[in-house]
Copies of this chain bind each other. A is one copy, B any other.
């Protein structure tokens, strides 16, 4: 089935992030939110984003793309004629269970039903759908038009066909989907982030380093590499004998460092206060909006820069079902 119309169900921070991505690809995008103010704000945000993207040459005609977006007032209307639904309602099991069951009941029987969930177990949220084979978690990073990664997490009933079709669809949109083979709390990316953040809080709390210097530790070393080579490739390139030699030589010391960390201790009040003070010293609360704009422009710059090539062909081959 060719996807020509996408339904956005829920247009809060997460849901609205999807809109420019689909519209930019020439798809019709229908938008519904139980709060019409939310929906209207989402359209205004989409317009702004499309113009920003045009400034970087990432969209040709922002107004023409914007005309593909249609606000609607009911779940029936948003799903009508859609071959793909992206649901981004609040992330609570009862809410997700209910809205996914309703979408499943109304949508075209062949439509893909996906949820933007970032942490819930598919077993729980897909419990009441009639056609679990076409349901899947597609977890975006905000905003998806700037951060290409998507975590695809099938439920126990999701068909291989739905997984493959969703994967291919997202690749066509220019995204970088990865497939999670089983549920773990936090999925993958948020676990990696938590590993860093918990240790960062721990180091600040212990008085080892200032929060600003901690941030610099990331941006001036690790982060520069991880922007285009992942942690495994980083190690692979750091030994003449590749990752096999690296693991043999340094594996033990990584585990010893791990043993020295305490990852389950609540962030100390002192650590949080130090981080807050350092951040507010650099950027006052009222300056965060401008700084976010700056961040997004940096990310756009990265998208258009010659940096980065990755081995997509091998990855795609692996997932052909």
Contacts and interface: CB of A to CB of B under 8 A. Distances in A.
A288 B237 contact: yes
Interface stretch (A46-54, A65-73, A109-117, A307-315): A307-315
Nearest to A193: B222
B221 A149 contact: yes
Nearest to A244: B276
Given A213-B178, A279-B236, A255 B264 contact: yes
B259 A224 contact: no
Instruction: In the A-B complex, list the 9 residue pairs whose CB atoms are closest, starting with the nearest.
Output: A215-B230, A223-B226, A258-B263, A259-B264, A227-B227, A149-B220, A178-B213, A149-B221, A194-B257
B190 A243 contact: no
Contacts of A119: 253
How many monomers of this protein are in the complex? 2
Contact of A307 (B209, B253, B259, B302): B302
Given A217-B178, A236-B283, A282-B314, A255 B267 contact: yes
Contact of A222 (B192, B209, B244, B264): B192
A211 interface: yes
Contacts of A195: 195-196, 198-199, 258, 261, 263
Interface string A257-284: 1111101111100001001101111110
B254 A197 contact: yes
> Among the interface residues A148, A212, A225, A292, which one has the most CB atoms of the partner chain B within 10 A?
A225
Contact of A267 (B198, B220, B237, B251): B251
Interface stretch (A81-89, A122-130, A181-189): A181-189
A167 to B, nearest CB: 11
> Among the interface residues A191, A212, A231, A299, which one has the most CB atoms of the partner chain B within 10 A?
A231
Interface residues of A, number: 109
Contact of A298 (B206, B256, B308): B308
A48 to B, nearest CB: 17
Contacts of A280: 242
A275 B180 CA distance: 16
A286 to B, nearest CB: 10
B230 A216 contact: yes
23 contacts: A147-B224, A149-B220, A180-B209, A184-B208, A188-B208, A189-B221, A191-B261, A192-B217, A195-B263, A197-B231, A198-B254, A212-B314, A215-B229, A216-B230, A223-B225, A223-B227, A225-B295, A228-B295, A232-B275, A242-B285, A244-B272, A298-B307, A301-B306
A179 interface: yes
A215 to B, nearest CB: 2
